Amino acid sequence: MFQPSLLDDADSVHAEAAREMVLRHDWVTLYINGVRYLEKAPLMYWTIASSFKLLGVHDWSARLPLVLAVGALIAVTFVFGRRFFGDLGGFYAALAIATGPGIYIYTRFLIPDALVALWLELGLFFFLVGYEQKNPSRWPCWGLAATVALNVLTKGLIGLVFVAVIIFMFLWILRDLRYLKKMRLLSSSLVFLVIAAPWHVLAAIRNPAQPGGAEKGFFYSKTVVAVLEALKCQRSSEECCSDTLEHLSNQKKIGLSIFKTALYSHILNQPDGG
């Protein structure tokens, strides 16, 4: 947490956005060196800015929220593993997360991947707890909706798409897509919107597009720019493709590992002839 010092690229840029959030008392619109920074979701910056406000602006206080997120991820992994594989399974699962090189490397930088993994795993835990029930109760359905909303506030639409794809594939493989109707979709959608919508609405109101001007506004930055960046390499094609594949590979490994664990646990708990 204390070493190394913040680096020039993502570290300094993201820490500066959080610092300016505190200085401007503006927790809706991100700024970097006085320039609006509309491309990113706010949750990681909120946590870093809160740390700055409470503890002062330091390298270690910038990293503290990610350290806490990793601690929570280890705890959730233990609970997840213990629920489906017993105490020993939970222990080894948590140990694998705690000692994994990826967690160490990707918390050296101020990027939200540890938070993304935390919300993803917690959401799938809620889903599987609900799936064990014949008719899922409110709390696992609402817990899933809340974690998806937090992931959208952390990483944008990835937070919704990853969970949706994993759950759909899980139910499709088990030929149980009808279970989707039991997931209290209406009330869960309301929980999702209560958490995820306010910032998006405020950001859109405070950052409208400028007709005929260079400023395209919040929705343009969150939709059109995101799609263009995904489809077109704006740097050299080799560098862009390399970074994109590395990022997708890391995210895919997290999702697929949880999916495989969930599927395997479900198979183990099937009654004979079921």
Q: What pLDDT is recorded for position 128? A: 93
Q: What pLDDT is recorded for position 133? A: 86
Q: What pLDDT is recorded for position 207? A: 78
Enumerate the H helices of 25-157 as residue ranges: 43-55, 59-99, 101-106, 113-132, 138-155
Q: What pLDDT is recorded for position 243? A: 46
Q: What pLDDT is recorded for position 257? A: 54
Q: What pLDDT is recorded for position 145? A: 95
User: How far is the CA of 118 from the CAs of 53, 82, 197, 246, 268, in angstroms?
Assistant: 24, 17, 21, 19, 25
Query: Quick check: 120 and 165 in contact, CB under 8 A?
Result: no
Regions of the chain short of the pLDDT cut 50: 212-214, 230, 232-249, 251-252, 273-274
Residue 199 tokens, joined: 């910032």
- Is pTM beyond 0.85? Reply is no
Q: What pLDDT is recorded for position 198? A: 94
**Using CA atoms, how far apart are residues 160 and 182, in angstroms rounded to an integer?**
19
Rounded to 5 degrees, φ, ψ at 27 are -100, 15
Q: What pLDDT is recorded for position 240? A: 41
In three-state secondary structure terms, 59 is helix
- For CA atoms 254, 259, 264, 266, the dihedral sign is positive
Q: What pLDDT is recorded for position 59? A: 85
241 phi-psi bin (left φ>0, alpha ψ -120 to 50, beta other): alpha
Peptide bond connecting 4 to the previous residue in cis, omega within 30 degrees of 0: yes
Q: What pLDDT is recorded for position 215? A: 52
Amino acid at 62: A
Q: What pLDDT is recorded for position 249? A: 47
